[in-house]
Amino acid sequence: PFMLDTFKKVCRKTEHRLSMLTQQQTNQYISKKWQAVLHPLLSSIEEKCWHKTRKGVKQLVYARHWISADTILQKKVISIFLSLDKLQNAIGKWHDLDLLATKIRKKRKKMEGHTILQREQQLALKKLLTEKDVIAKRIQNILSKTGELIRKYK
Q: Show pLDDT as tens, one digit a residue, over the chain (154 residues).
A: 566 777 667 766 666 666 666 666 666 776 676 667 777 776 777 888 888 888 888 877 777 766 666 655 566 677 788 888 899 999 999 999 999 999 888 887 777 777 888 888 889 999 999 999 999 999 999 988 888 877 776 5
Distance CA 44, CA 62 (A): 24
Distance CA 75, CA 53 (A): 24
Residue 119: Cβ-neighbour burial (10 angstroms; 0-12, 13-18, 19+): exposed
**Helix locations, 64-114, DSSP H:** 72-110
**∠ CA 105-135-60, rounded to 5°:** 110
- pTM of the shown model: 0.69
pLDDT of residue 89: 93
Query: Are the C-beta atoms of residues 98 and 58 closer than 8 Å to each other?
Result: no
Distance CA 147, CA 141 (A): 10
